């Protein structure tokens, strides 16, 4: 980062000298500032190399050191030959730039151990070229962030992982809260479950039936209704459907995913939820976590409560330990600490995205249930990594969002 900033400083000085010539400590700069074309070319080349230095590229280090050294050496030779000659109005820019390059070369040479990232090349063998995603992910985690100049972060981790990362010098910030229902003691009794019992009773009176299915095996009529409900839901948000940690109908078609449907006697689908398996060590499924949750706007009003209650009952009967209602991104319980700048930034983003995706409304709905809450964290090495992490997460969550969409979202944060 320092090497990149040093190069950008040299580029900035070149621009200032060209457009604002003046008398400097080394003399006037007006006569040897070069042409506009040479200034633009210098700035463009320096900017390109600076970006690669920021990524730790080995070739960029060699280019910067070689060019800087050459510049300093040529300047010294020129000065040596011209000793005793009255420069009058020439030499200030040449000498001044040489001094900046000398400092840059010294910085790069002193930090040469940081520039070990080779030029990107196509991977033709090894774990990353295979078809097994799990193997590829493990290979990436263990071997490639440092050697490829990537910025690592741990996204959506538990408090235990955040504590372990803290012991390694990493920082962490809470980004969500996971809502967990322990199924072993689950009984829909007491005041806390009154809304759930009312939803179940009302569904029974109105002929709404719960079905646990694999969506890909359902008839075309059911699948078409599910798609229509989801598309209508997305259309109301003003932004494309989110991805990454949030799923859609296509993800719900995976055979490993269970889907809960609320269907009336006429075959109309009123709501849908999909559930991803939660694995215990050894590969056994110990629970399920909510992914897709959609309801028909003109359908059975308490359908979500009915679906969640029915799903919990079904999974409990199957012997599952927990059901996670998933984390509401950028939402936290009242009273959660938010004093750090990154916390305030996340609060602002959460408020901005609320009209589009209802993260906090989702969190408020879950708060009506009596489960337990567990914080979810983002772990990162240093604040300098946060801009690149933010860009990566934005691209992951909204891969189909246009520049206009993102500008609209950005404007709503101010």
> DSSP state, 144?
I
Q: Please say whether the beta carbons of 175 and 386 come within 8 A.
A: no
State residue 270's pLDDT score.
96
Instruction: Enumerate domains of the chain plus CATH numbers.
Output: 2-114 (no CATH), 174-411 (3.40.630.30)
Give tens-digit pLDDT for 53-62.
888 888 999 9
User: Which residues neighbour 240 within 8 Å (Cβ) at sequence distance 6 or greater?
Assistant: 234, 398, 399, 400, 401, 405
Q: Among residues of the chain, what percentage have pLDDT more than 90? A: 28
The enclosing H or E element of 193 equals none
3-state percent breakdown (helix, strand, coil) of the chain, nearest 5: 50, 15, 30
DSSP class of 240: P
The encoded tokens of residue 252 equal: 């719900």
321 burial via Cβ count (<10 Å: 0-12, 13-18, 19+)? middle
DSSP annotation of 154: E
Rounded CA gap, 76 and 257, in Å?
70
**Beta pairing partners, 330:** none
Interatomic CA distance for residues 67 and 13, integer angstroms: 17
* Interval 213-266: pLDDT, tens: 999 999 999 999 999 998 887 666 555 566 665 678 888 999 999 999 999 999
pTM greater than 0.75 (yes/no): no
β 322-324/285-295 pair status = parallel
413 confidence band (pLDDT: 50, 70, 90): very low
Which has more pLDDT, 296 or 407?
A: 296
Helix H or strand E encompassing 279:
strand 269-279
pLDDT at 335 (0 to 100): 46
Q: How many angstroms from the chain centroid is the CA of residue 356?
A: 18
């Amino acid at each position: 980062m320092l090497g990149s900033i040093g190069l950008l400083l040299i580029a900035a000085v070149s621009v200032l000298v060209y457009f604002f010539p003046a008398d400097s400590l080394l003399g006037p700069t007006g006569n040897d500032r070069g042409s506009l074309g040479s200034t633009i070319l210098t700035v463009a080349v320096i900017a390109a190399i600076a970006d690669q230095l920021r990524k730790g590229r080995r070739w960029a280090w060699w280019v910067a050191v070689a060019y800087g050294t050459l510049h300093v050496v040529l300047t010294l030779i020129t000065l040596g030959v011209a000793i005793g000659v009255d420069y009058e109005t020439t030499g200030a820019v040449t000498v001044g730039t040489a001094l900046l390059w000398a400092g840059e070369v010294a910085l790069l040479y002193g930090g040469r151990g940081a520039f070990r990232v080779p030029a990107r090349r196509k991977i033709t063998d090894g774990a990353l070229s295979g078809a097994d995603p799990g193997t590829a992910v493990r290979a990436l985690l263990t071997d490639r962030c440092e050697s490829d100049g990537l910025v690592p972060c741990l996204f959506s981790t538990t408090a235990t992982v955040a504590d372990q990362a803290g012991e390694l010098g990493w920082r962490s910030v809470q980004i969500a809260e996971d809502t967990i229902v322990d199924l072993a003691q689950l009984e829909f009794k007491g005041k806390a479950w009154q809304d759930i019992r009312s939803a179940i009773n009302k569904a029974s009176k109105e002929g709404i039936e719960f079905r646990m299915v694999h969506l890909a095996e359902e008839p075309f009529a059911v699948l078409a209704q599910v798609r229509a409900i989801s598309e209508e839901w997305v259309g109301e948000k003003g932004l494309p459907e989110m991805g990454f940690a949030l799923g859609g109908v296509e993800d719900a078609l995976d055979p490993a995913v269970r889907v809960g449907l609320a269907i009336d006697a006429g075959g109309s689908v009123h709501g849908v939820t999909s559930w991803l398996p939660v694995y215990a060590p050894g590969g056994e499924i110990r629970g399920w976590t909510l992914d897709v949750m959609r309801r028909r706007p003109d359908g059975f009003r308490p359908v979500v409560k009915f679906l969640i209650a029915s799903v919990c009952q079904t999974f409990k009967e199957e012997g599952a330990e927990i059901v996670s209602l998933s984390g509401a991104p950028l939402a936290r319980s009242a009273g959660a600490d938010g004093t750090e700048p990154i916390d305030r930034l996340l609060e602002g983003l959460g408020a901005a995205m609320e009209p589009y995706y209802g993260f906090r409304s989702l969190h408020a709905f879950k708060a009506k249930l009596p489960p337990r809450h567990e914080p979810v964290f983002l772990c990162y090495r240093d604040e300098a990594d946060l801009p690149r992490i933010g860009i990566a997460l934005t691209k992951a969550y909204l891969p189909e969002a246009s520049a206009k969409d993102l500008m609209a979202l950005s404007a709503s944060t101010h």
